[in-house]
Homo-oligomer: A and B are copies of this chain.
Amino acid sequence: MWELLRRNIGRHVSLTNDDFETAESLFTFKKYRKKQFILQEGDVSRYESFIIKGCTRTYETDAGGQEHILHFGIEEWWVGDLYSSLSEKPSVYHSDCIEACEMLHITKEKQEILYAKVPAMERFFRILIQNAFIASQNRILTNLSKSGKERYNEFIAKYPLIEQRIPNHQIASYLGLTPQSLSRIRGQHSK
């Protein structure tokens, strides 16, 4: 478990053993059941979570009750609602577990402590957000310029691991399609 976190952090910054131990002391481990909420709309997000095991989704429920999936998470990904935890305002998102999950949490307060003790961790989180931001920009461009079929093909090429673990109607939601449309796309696809 800690190895996963160390490897993930070590990918972007180099820390001493002491630094790692400081970091580890500030995280807490938590298990979730399938379908359990990590964050519910209206709650203020209090931590960032690192997925040790399992699979999550983060989504918004719109005025018409439709769910729109913002992103999925699997092992070694980070989940959180930056907007809510930074602004301390209620989140507009839900996050829940598609599979049973094991996570490491760090609260905002402990993150500040961590930055003070291990300044490189501020850099680490900056890099995480940068990467998330870059990915998010790419997704915007894909949504602007590609058809449903192209977006689906891109998705399965990019996230083959996710595609196998997640029901199609949720992939449809992520891609901005109805389940019916995705089903038809998948139908043609096998030509």
Contact = CB atoms under 8 A, between A and B. Distances in A.
Interface of A: 60, 62, 66, 68, 70, 82-83, 86, 119, 122-123, 125-126, 129-130, 132-134, 136-137, 139-141, 143-145, 173, 176
Nearest to A176: B144
Residue of A62, A125, A132, A145 ringed by the most chain B CB atoms within 10 A: A145
B82 A144 contact: no
Nearest to A138: B83
Contacts of A173: 144
A143 B136 CA distance: 12
21 contacts: A60-B141, A62-B145, A68-B141, A68-B144, A68-B145, A70-B137, A70-B140, A83-B134, A83-B137, A122-B123, A122-B126, A125-B126, A126-B126, A129-B129, A132-B133, A136-B140, A139-B140, A140-B140, A140-B143, A144-B176, A145-B176
Q: How would you classify the secondary structure of chain A's contact residues: helix, strand, loop or mixed?
A: helix
Contacts of A123: 122
A112 B191 CA distance: 52
A78 B130 CA distance: 14
Contacts of A62: 145
